[in-house]
Amino acid sequence: MRLGYFTMPVHPVHRKWAETLKEDRDAIILADKLGFYDAFMGEHLTDACENITNSMMFHATLIPDTKQIKLATGTSNLSHMHPVLIAVQAAMFDHMAEGRFILGVSPGALTTDAEALGILEQDRNKMFAEAIDVILAIWQRDPPYDIDFPDNRFKVSTARTMTLDLGVGIMGKPYQQPRPEIVGTVVAPFSPGVVLMGKRDFHPLSANFLLSCHLKSHWQNYVKGKAEAGTEAKVADWRVARALFVHDDDKVAAGYGRYEEKSPYRFYYEQMRRKMIRGKRLYVFKSHKEQADDEITHDWVMDHCVIHGSVSKVVDQILALREEIGDFGELVYAGMDWVDPALGKRSMQLMAEEVMPRVNAAIGKSAAAA
């Protein structure tokens, strides 16, 4: 099982933007040094807490300061830009990173982003579907492209103005062929979108604010989509994100990861709970569809969404998660604000150097005994 990293990020409003940008860079540089496989960075235009406005631009600053980690948009919000822009910018990034690039995609869920862009009343899921078709077509075709799909608002051609011997009218293709890995974040239980991911060979990343009891539904739908496309689903392609905090001392882990007022995990999940209420998406924290909204308290969310403890306790909880939902290819560590940088860094170090080796040893032992 691989170890990945994902951060939205979520910082307190009072913190200086330049300071949190540096902290977010430091976290991914550390993840690279510790051998994390990939790092997903979220993006929003109008959120002072989730304050990365362009994940690709942010990651570009990390290319020279990292060596092996794959840099992933988490996500590029496809309703926010014309697909030509995403296609050519992602292709250029892929060349800059020499293949250390994953394109994470989504429609873009934040309503204030949509309002600011003047698309609040539009069907952003449809915009997303139209955009991804065009992006893939640009990467697959040669000039003049002549992309004109039925019921798709985006028409792309350079036929009228191209001069190919001058290089004019040509859009670059990615470094990775035929394309970079494409990943979609999955938030909803039983999401039908995962079936479509399976059909198109996009890979699912199950979000860390969904209760574990619903995660298996993502894999089941992915398998269904793969079967409909006539191919077999690979466990390695399923990523599962969780909020984890590890420390040498159980009491410190419980305080910083769960109970203390200053805990960044408490801050994060109260932010997410309130945002889900605001967006009428509180269902992500429910154990069953009929569960009453007033049962979804801050403590309920913390009890069900955060794994914390010493190395041995965290190993046991990860193995229990795997027993509950089945095998998956990558455990994605959810990055938090570094209220205490030393504790934040130590947790990542213990995850990479002690927790994951023990988890993988246990998985290997179990497989050998089967």
Q: What is the pLDDT of residues 136-156, one digit of tens each?
A: 999 999 999 999 999 999 999
65: exposed, middle or buried (Cβ count in 10 Å: 0-12, 13-18, 19+): exposed
- The per-residue pLDDT for range 274-292, each reduced to its tens digit, is 999 998 999 999 999 899 9
pLDDT at 370 over 80: no
Count CB atoms within 10 A of the CB of residue 179. 18
Angle between the N-to-C axes of helices 193-200 and 215-228, in degrees from 0 to 180, rounded to the nearest 10: 40
Pick from 217, 222, 208, 169: which is nearest to 190 by CA?
217
First-last CA distance in the chain? 18
Please state, for a pLDDT cut of 70, what percent of the chain lies above it.
100
Q: What angle do CA 78, 28, 327 make, to 5 degrees?
A: 75
Question: What count of other Cβ atoms lies within 10 Å of the Cβ of residue 150?
Answer: 4
Q: Which of 179, 158, 178, 153 is nearest to 168 (CA)?
A: 158
List % helix, strand, coil for the chain (3-state, nearest 5).
50, 15, 35
| Burial class of 81 by CB neighbour count within 10 A (0 to 12, 13 to 18, 19+) | middle
Query: How much is the mean pLDDT over the chain?
Result: 97
pLDDT in tens, 17-76: 999 999 999 999 999 999 999 999 999 999 999 999 999 999 999 999 999 999 999 999
Q: What is the mean pLDDT of residues 198-225?
A: 96
Tell me how far the alpha carbon of residue 176 is from its chain's centroid.
Answer: 20
Beta-strand runs (E) in 310-364: 330-334
Selected residue with higher pLDDT from 367 and 205: 205
Q: Is the dihedral of CA 98, 99, 100, 106 positive or negative?
A: positive
Q: What is the pTM of this model?
A: 0.97
* Phi, psi for 331 (deg, rounded to 5): -95, 120
Percent of the chain predicted with pLDDT > 90: 98
Measured CA to CA, the distance from residue 37 to residue 119 in angstroms comes to 35
The string of pLDDT tens digits covering residues 66-104 is 999 999 999 999 999 999 999 999 999 999 999 999 999
